[in-house]
Amino acid sequence: MIDLKSLYRRAPWLRTKRPAHAFVLSRTRLTYVGPEDPGRSAAGTPPAVRAVSCPLPADAFQDGASGVPVALAPLAGAVSRLLAEAAVKMPAASLVVPDDFVRVLVVDVEDPERHAKEVEEILTWKFGRTFGEPAPALRISWRPAGPGASGTRVLALAVPEEAAASWEGPFERAGIRIGAVEIEALAVSSLGAASVGGEGLVLWSRGGTAAVAHFEKGLLRFLRVRAAGDPEAAVQELRLTASFVASAGGGAADEAAEPPLVRIPCAAGPPGSPIVDALAAFRSQHGGAPVASLSMGTLLPGTRVASGRAEAAELLAALGAMAGGD
């Protein structure tokens, strides 16, 4: 997956060994997930985990100049309380943040790995436009994603440095190095890609967003994150994404005959999301196969919570971040 920490900023993504601990940060909660038996665990998905969660005060964040939430002093207090309750020593951990905490771009460039400087310039300029003028200092992470319409497709994420540093700061002051900052959708899709056989769409819809990742031959090829309040409107966005995927792959995209969103394998979560339900209803209405569920029971049936408690979606995101993936 793409994260914003493995190579820090303005650099191509490379696979890194993931820490065996993870925190999931939302606007309202902070959750820790780690191995129940640290002595036997390594980076990856442990067979048994413990989870600790706490609510965040209403003033834990304020919107930065670019609109991305910046953590304030109350987050540091919450981190201290959570670490005291968890009572676990850890040198490093991954941090999962909401999908709308970052911006996503998909661009085509010529031979990006040989022309990294040019890629950096293109991404800095394009992301600068999305964040507004004057553009803030950005942390950018990118990776090649196979052939594009012209050149090589590149998937990139960016976040203002001010915001990213504010999320990491409380952990680093507690002696915990944040080894990877990742959005929920990518953390979960590292587990969910197998549900579509490495060929299809993986939807994650939580916290007012709908993020869809497209996999082809096991490779992450496309990512889109949209604000999503109305389930029917979100399904229309998914139809556009599926049509784009079908046409880019040389397949037919005849919505009248058979919408691509019906025939492309889909996995979605978390269970109970109105957008996930709307997608399942659309596929059923048009005779499509059921949507594979992104849940602990289907993705990680052998993993159990040995102690503590966390929301199922946050638990899954944490385990996905711990596992990582290509």
Interatomic CA distance for residues 4 and 150, integer angstroms: 26
Interatomic CA distance for residues 133 and 113, integer angstroms: 29
Share of the chain above pLDDT 70, in %: 89
- The dihedral over CA atoms of 82, 83, 88, 89, expressed in degrees to the nearest 10, equals 160
**Distance from chain centroid for Cα 230:** 21
**Residue 198 has what pLDDT?**
94
Burial of 173 (0-12, 13-18, 19+ CB in 10 A): exposed
Q: Architecture of 11-100+160-186+299-323 per CATH?
A: 2-Layer Sandwich (3.30)
Q: Is the pLDDT of residue 13 over 70?
A: no
Q: Architecture of 195-295 per CATH?
A: 2-Layer Sandwich (3.30)
Q: What is the pLDDT of residues 121-155, one digit of tens each?
A: 999 999 988 887 778 899 999 999 999 988 999 99
Reported confidence tier of residue 254, pLDDT bands at 50, 70, 90: low
**Residue 3 has what pLDDT?**
57
Task: Kindly report the number of other CB atoms within 10 A of residue 271's CB atom.
Answer: 15
Give me the residue label for tokens 């048009």.
286
Using alpha carbons, select from 208, 172, 173, 188 the residue that is nearest to residue 5. Answer: 172
**Residue 308 has what pLDDT?**
87
Residue 213 tokens read as: 């990742």
Using alpha carbons, select from 184, 179, 180 the residue that is nearest to residue 316. Answer: 184
Mean pLDDT across 2-20: 51
Ranges of each domain in the chain? 11-100+160-186+299-323, 103-156, 195-295
Q: Is the pLDDT of residue 14 over 50?
A: no
> Phi then psi for 198, rounded to 5 degrees?
75, 10
Q: What is the pLDDT of residues 159-174, one digit of tens each?
A: 999 999 999 999 999 9
Q: Is the pLDDT of residue 100 over 80?
A: yes
Mean pLDDT across 4-26: 63
Spatial contact of 99 and 204, defined as CB atoms under 8 Å apart: yes
Reported confidence tier of residue 11, pLDDT bands at 50, 70, 90: very low
Beta bridge partners of 307: 50
Spatial contact of 51 and 126, defined as CB atoms under 8 Å apart: no
Spatial contact of 264 and 253, defined as CB atoms under 8 Å apart: no
- The helix/strand/coil state of 181 is strand
Looking at the chain, how many residues does it have?
Answer: 326
Interatomic CA distance for residues 261 and 238, integer angstroms: 7
Q: Which residues contact 184 (CB under 8 A, 6 or more apart)?
A: 24, 96, 97, 98, 99, 204, 206, 207, 211, 313, 317
Residue 184 tokens read as: 């929920």
Reported confidence tier of residue 86, pLDDT bands at 50, 70, 90: very high
Interatomic CA distance for residues 136 and 131, integer angstroms: 7
Sign of CA dihedral 53, 59, 61, 63: positive
- The helix/strand/coil state of 240 is helix
- The helix/strand/coil state of 100 is helix
Reported confidence tier of residue 258, pLDDT bands at 50, 70, 90: confident
Q: What is the pLDDT of residues 23-68, one digit of tens each?
A: 999 999 999 999 988 665 555 678 899 999 999 999 999 998 788 9
Interatomic CA distance for residues 296 and 304, integer angstroms: 9
Beta bridge partners of 53: 31
The angle formed by the CA atoms of residues 205, 127 and 227, to the nearest 5 degrees, is 20
pTM of the model: 0.90
Spatial contact of 16 and 306, defined as CB atoms under 8 Å apart: no
Reported confidence tier of residue 16, pLDDT bands at 50, 70, 90: low
Helix and strand counts by DSSP (H, E) for the chain: 9, 17
Interatomic CA distance for residues 299 and 195, integer angstroms: 8
Q: Matching CATH topology for 11-100+160-186+299-323 and 195-295? A: yes
Q: What is the pLDDT of residues 269-291, one digit of tens each?
A: 999 999 999 999 999 999 999 99
Spatial contact of 97 and 89, defined as CB atoms under 8 Å apart: no
Spatial contact of 159 and 4, defined as CB atoms under 8 Å apart: yes
